[in-house]
């Protein structure tokens, strides 16, 4: 569990942008690596508070964080661009460079990977329970075949950046509040990639990737529910200039069923029996999700009584044990709302024999009208 960003900065949740900036500046000075040489704890703390500030100082990211916590920052908005907070921007603003030399300034160690992406997949109630093979379509970035991701037009190739000589970083020495600081910033000429492209590929304009709509097969395992997320490794956006693909997160949204309610692995449904079946007992068929079962209703069954059908619920997802949950049926006794003359006579006879006081035929008509007045 990651530490709460507001706690890290020691501010309350209503803190204004100025409050945040003040709190961060104070903490950052205290924990800055240059002020704490070879202190790993201070370095870790510095990274943490910088991350917290990066998120909370971005209005959109802060809103996501307030609503969804750390989960809200993992990927992008539905259909929008993935959210990637950039610590480099923070370091630029406060210190004139990234004290770790990381972030965007990757140097010749290789192109950065592509962004993670998110998509919502709608499932029927049954699909979520039994699993399904489905497809999702996303707008994403794919590697450019024309230039094999290099970004350079056919017959040309990228060349070493003249500004940083391939390092991807430019070092600067400057005076700061903390004394002399040597900082490495990403090279503005090549964007930290260490190389530049004299003649860009026409298909991708030198990016090595371009936007396209792609569909992927998604194997949904049995037992998922709304809120389940599948991660498809390497199905996110292609990185620029041949960089690796990010991941694709598929958020599942499950439709309701008209017949069943679901709580985790347990299913609930009503079991309708007639007044006479409840009184006399019966064998009745019930359609579960995947089969017809015969239920023995004992004589004298009461409304609200429960039948538990073991292993007729939702299959347990991997890692939560084997088998299936239960199906719980609650008895609902149906009282006939219309009776034939013959039925009525028979029921009156029973009532008389049992000594039960019931409305006489004239009064029954009156009572029926009262009920319709209530409805």
DSSP code for 99: T
CB of 184 to Zn ion, least distance (A): 12
Crossing angle of helices 17-31 and 40-56, in 10° steps, is 170
Phi first, then psi: what are they for 214, rounded to 5°?
A: -130, 140
The owner of tokens 């979520």 is 128
CB of 141 to Zn ion, least distance (A): 12
Residues binding Zn ion (CB under 5 A): 144, 146-147, 161, 163-164, 187, 189-190, 201, 203-204
Please say which residue, 158 or 325, places its beta carbon nearer to Zn ion.
Answer: 158
* Shortest spacing between CB 151 and Zn ion, in angstroms: 6
3-class secondary structure, 266: strand
- The closest of 217, 190, 198 to 133, measured between CA atoms, is 217
Shortest distance in whole angstroms from residue 292 CB to Zn ion = 59
CA dihedral 10, 15, 18, 20 (to 10 degrees): 30
Radius of gyration of the chain from Cα atoms? 33
- Residue number with CB closer to Zn ion (117 or 150): 150
The residue (of 144 and 273) whose beta carbon lies closer to Zn ion is 144
Given the complex with Zn ion, which of 161 and 250 has the nearer CB atom?
161
| Min dist. Cβ of residue 146 to Zn ion (A) | 4
Q: Shortest distance, CB of residue 195 to Zn ion, whole angstroms?
A: 8
Contact residues for 129 (Cβ-Cβ < 8 A; gap 6+):
222, 223, 262, 289, 314, 315
Least distance to Zn ion, CB of residue 114, Å: 15
Nearer to Zn ion, 27 or 144 (CB): 144
Q: How far is the CB of 162 from Zn ion (least distance, A)?
A: 8
* Contact between 238 and 141 (Cβ < 8 Å): yes
Residue 137 or residue 154: which is nearer to Zn ion going by CB? 154
Q: How many CB atoms lie within 10 A of CB 93?
A: 11
Handedness of CA 279, 282, 287, 290 (dihedral sign): positive
CB of 170 to Zn ion, least distance (A): 7
Task: Decide: residue 35, CB within 10 A, 0-12 exposed, 13-18 middle, 19+ buried.
Answer: middle
Distance of alpha carbon 127 from alpha carbon 332, whole angstroms: 28
Say if strands 292-297 and 282-287 run parallel, antiparallel, or are unpaired: antiparallel
Q: What is the DSSP string of 178-243?
A: TEEEEEEEE-TTTTTSSEE-SSB-TTTTTSSEEEEEEEEEEEEPTT--TT-EEEETT-SPPPGGGP
Nearer to Zn ion, 147 or 181 (CB): 147
**Closer residue to Zn ion, CB minimum distance, 210 or 307:** 210
User: Toward Zn ion, which CB reaches closer, 50 or 185?
Assistant: 185
Tell which residue, 133, 137, 299, 157, has the closest CA to residue 219: 133
Residue with Cβ nearer Zn ion (211 or 310):
211
Minimum gap (Å) between residue 100 Cβ and Zn ion: 19
């Amino acid at each position: 569990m990651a530490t709460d960003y507001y706690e890290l900065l020691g501010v309350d949740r209503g803190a204004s942008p100025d409050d945040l900036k003040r709190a961060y500046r104070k903490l950052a000075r205290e924990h800055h690596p240059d002020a704490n040489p070879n202190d790993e704890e201070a370095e870790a703390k510095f990274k943490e508070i910088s991350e917290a500030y990066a998120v909370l100082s971005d209005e959109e990211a802060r809103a996501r964080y307030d609503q969804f916590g750390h989960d809200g920052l993992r990927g992008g908005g539905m259909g929008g661009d993935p959210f990637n907070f950039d610590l480099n921007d923070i370091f630029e603003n406060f210190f004139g460079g990234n004290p770790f030399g990381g972030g965007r300034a990757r140097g010749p160690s290789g192109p950065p990977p592509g962004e993670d992406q998110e998509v919502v997949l709608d499932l029927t109630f049954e699909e979520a329970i039994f699993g399904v093979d489905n497809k999702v379509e996303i707008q994403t970035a794919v590697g450019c075949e024309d230039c094999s991701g290099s970004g350079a037009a056919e017959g040309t190739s990228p060349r070493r950046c003249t500004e940083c000589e391939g390092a991807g970083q430019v070092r600067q020495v400057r005076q700061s509040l903390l004394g002399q600081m040597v900082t490495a910033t990403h090279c503005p000429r090549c964007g930290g990639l260490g190389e530049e492209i004299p003649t860009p590929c026409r298909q991708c304009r030198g990016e090595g990737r371009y936007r396209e709509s792609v569909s992927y097969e998604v194997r949904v395992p049995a037992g998922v529910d709304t809120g389940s997320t599948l991660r498809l490794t390497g199905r996110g956006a292609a990185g620029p200039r041949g960089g690796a693909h990010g991941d694709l997160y598929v958020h599942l949204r499950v439709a309701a069923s008209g017949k069943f309610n679901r709580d985790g692995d347990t299913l609930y449904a009503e079991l309708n029996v007639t007044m006479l079946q409840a009184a006399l007992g019966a064998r009745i068929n019930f359609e579960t999700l995947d089969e017809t079962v015969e239920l023995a209703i004992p004589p004298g069954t009461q409304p609200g009584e429960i039948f538990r059908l073991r292993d007729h619920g939702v299959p347990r997802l991997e890692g939560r044990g084997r088998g299936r949950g239960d199906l719980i049926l609650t008895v609902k006794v149906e009282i006939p709302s219309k009776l034939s003359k013959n039925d009525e006579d028979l029921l009156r006879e029973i009532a008389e024999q049992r000594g039960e006081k019931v409305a006489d035929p004239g009064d029954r008509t009156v009572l029926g009208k009262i009920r319709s007045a209530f409805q």
